[in-house]
Amino acid sequence: MRERWWGASGRRVPEIALEGALPMDEALVLEELDEDELRRAHEAGTPVVVRADSPDAILHALARPEVAAVVVPAAKPELLDLDLTKLTYG
């Protein structure tokens, strides 16, 4: 399981998790990427979580270093098993 930094907390979390598995009250939660929000959260050390429900949306979110994690709907647990390297590089 690949992990990312949870903002400036010093903790690491799974880069893809099911909705409800991460402490979302600590994070900026986005439905879509917003450059200004990402910058402000990063500067403040706030973890950024993006909701995604497709492989493309997950790849797009994880391409941003400011994103701590992507959460996927509980109805789509198969998204936890994506081969991100293969999807990125073929």
Distance (Å, whole) CA 42 – CA 47: 7
Max CA separation in the chain (angstroms): 36
pTM, two decimal places? 0.92
- Among residues 85, 80, 66, the alpha carbon closest in space to that of 14 is found at 80
For position 8, what pLDDT does the model report? 95
Q: Where are the chain's structural domains?
A: 3-89
CA distances for 7 relative to 17, 37, 63, 66, 79, angstroms: 16, 14, 16, 8, 23
The pLDDT of residue 16 is 97
pLDDT in tens, the chain (90 residues): 799 999 999 999 999 999 999 999 999 999 999 999 999 999 999 999 999 999 999 999 999 999 999 999 999 999 999 998 888 887
